[in-house]
Structure 1
Amino acid sequence: MSGFVFPPQNTDAAPPPAEAPDLVKGDGFWPDINITDVRDVVRLDTTITPARLRDAVRQAMLDIAAALADWRASQEAAGVSTLSDVPSRMKVDGVSDYVLRWSRAVYSVVGADLGERLVSQSATAAGVDRAQALGQDVLVHQRNVSFAVRDFLGRPRIRARMI
């Protein structure tokens, strides 16, 4: 006898919960957004729950879709049915610039939204420094939203006038 004893498997344990789908589905024209990619790109830690992140992604997709509604209407009038079908001005890593700008805008709205929520929760003295850092991140995300949408539409990023 070897001395190794293997207990029987516990058959009373509940099966592990099914993982939530990792995608927030677009409406057919706009591409789906992968939640894991958002978490990685925006550098969100685990204090942001999956449900909270999914909600932020949904709202961001709605916000950006609304900002680009007129552009989309003109594309659909020209017979285009998905963003991927729009002839790209440029491809990076095999992906259309339109798809990249769409994703960037959505990610940045998520980053700004969740960052603003975290800033408002930093009420302790130790949280003040963290709130200031988060505040700067929020500003960068807001700028990136503007840049992504303006780049998407082919508009200049900055308007300057002489005073």
Structure 2
Amino acid sequence: MTTGFIANAPTSPAEGEITSSPFWPAISLTDLRETVRLDGTVTTARLTHTVIDAITSVNRDLAEWRSARQAEGHATLTAVPGELINNESAHLHSYRRAVYAMTRANLLERYTDYSATGDGVKGADAKVMSSDDLYRDARFAIRDVLGTTHNTVELI
């Protein structure tokens, strides 16, 4: 008999945030968990490590763009002129989307499933496809900040 009950590990109420250079916004671990639907099975230490990796990658991809905006006199991402959505810069939304998507993709790739059952192995292929989709979402978000298209065209 199955009860339909799925146990989710609790999360810490105040996990804090990850900061990088002063130009970029801090990433709230609590907000990230809620947005990408991570329960406490992913420990705070594991999440912190993965978020730092994602921030490093996104910041590296946006380094030239950031330098150009700082040369224009903009001290932070939120100070860069742009469209406002829900009273926040669209650049800010895109930056968070890139970091969140890359974090989730990294977790899906490295931790195929939380159990060692056959069901976890069977679902691995679908999860790899999902991580590819998340990496694509991160690239699209980075391109949104850069102001470039989502298309990549190569001549053969």
TM range (shorter): 0.7 to 0.9
- How far did 1:161 drift? 5.5
Task: Tell whether 2:112 aligns with 1:119.
Answer: yes
The residue number in structure 1 matching 2:33 is: 39
Give the Å deviation of 1:130: 2.4
* Aligned residues: CA RMSD: 2.1
In the alignment, structure 1 residue 139 sits paired with structure 2 residue 135: no
- 2:32 maps to 1:56: no
1:86 aligns with 2:77: no
Paired positions, count:
145
Residues 21 and 120 (structure 1), Cα distance of their counterparts in 2 relative to 1, 3 Å cut: closer
- Cα pair 1:118 1:134 within 8 Å, conserved: no
CA contact (8 A) 2:94 2:145 kept: yes
Q: Which residue of 2 aligns with 1:128?
A: 121
The letter of the residue matching 1:60 is: A
Q: TM-score if structure 1 supplies the norm length?
A: 0.80
Q: Deviations over 1:120-149 (max 9, x none)?
A: 877642222221232122111111011001
Q: What does residue 109 of structure 1 align with?
A: 102
Q: Does 1:66 align with 2:60?
A: yes
**Deviation sequence 1:68-118 (CA, Å, 0-9, x none):** 000011111111111111011x11101101101110000011011001011
Aligned residue for 1:159?
A: 152
Larger of the two Rg values belongs to structure = 1
Mapped contact 2:14–2:30 kept (Cα < 8 A): no
Letter in structure 2 aligned against 1:158? N
User: Conserved in 2, the CA contact under 8 Å of 1:57 and 1:106?
Assistant: yes
Query: Against the structure 1 CA distance between its residues 137 and 122, is the aligned structure 2 distance closer, same or farther, given a 3 Å change threshold?
Result: farther
- Label 1:73 to 1:24 Cα distance change in 2 as closer, same or farther (>3 A): same
